Amino acid sequence: MPLPVAGVCPACIRRAPVLDALHAGWAYAWPLDQLILAYKHGANARAERILAALAEQVAGRLVGENGDLPDLVLPVPLHGRRLRERGFNQSDYLARRVAGVLDVPLDTRGLRRIRATESQQALGRKARRRNVHGAFAWDGSSLAGQHVLVVDDVATTGATLAALAEVLRREGAARVEGLVLARA
């Protein structure tokens, strides 16, 4: 989210963020929070269509902002067990829509969640970081010099996106950004 004035926020001075940018469409508040929950935990088809349109809007803003589009779009992966329980990955669906608007490649297989993690919803900031530490791996093609955009539904503390960014940077990504529907 942009600062009201130019500069670097105090938290970033203390600990530089791993993400180069986070593009959030809206605040995580009513009614968007309810739509996200209805889709994520209830597979609500109507909520799915609305969220897809919102993801496309956020992606459209990226095109208009600076024209510096990513080389690759990645969804936040679910662990196999959670994917079987839920039946779908909401981030995968949103990432497909974003990649379509941006007209850039989508990779749904390279980024993997190699360790099952607890749901982040009830965890505090430090517990969220510990929960996702070491939970991801990259098994795709070379990311050397690539500008990568990671798509998720919500960013609360940014722990998941930061953990993913660390993995992608180790694999050579030059720029890692996040795109979410909502920021808590």
Domain boundaries, the chain: 18-183
Domain 18-183 - what CATH class? alpha beta
E strand spans, 34-146: 72-75, 111-113, 136-138
Quote the pLDDT of residue 8: 55
Judged on CB neighbours under 10 Å (0-12, 13-18, 19+), 25 is middle
Q: Check whether 5 has a pLDDT greater than 50.
A: no
Helix pair 32-42, 90-102: axis angle to 10 deg: 120
- Taking the C-alpha atoms of residue 136 and residue 111, their distance in angstroms, rounded to an integer, is 7
Per-residue pLDDT reduced to its tens digit, 29-44: 999 999 999 999 898 9
Q: Is the pTM of this model over 0.85?
A: yes
Report, as an integer, the average pLDDT of 128-143: 86
Report, as an integer, the average pLDDT of 73-100: 95
Phi, psi of 168 (to 5 degrees): -65, -35
| Among candidate residues 155, 149, 161, 163, the one with its CA nearest the CA of residue 70 | 149
SS3 state of residue 80: helix
Per-residue pLDDT reduced to its tens digit, 80-89: 999 999 999 9
Quote the pLDDT of residue 7: 53
Q: Please spell the DSSP secondary structure of 141-169, one letter per residue.
A: S--TT-EEEEEEEEESSSHHHHHHHHHHH
Quote the pLDDT of residue 137: 96
Quote the pLDDT of residue 142: 96
Quote the pLDDT of residue 120: 65
Per-residue pLDDT reduced to its tens digit, 152-170: 999 999 999 999 999 999 9
Quote the pLDDT of residue 63: 83
- Taking the C-alpha atoms of residue 29 and residue 35, their distance in angstroms, rounded to an integer, is 10
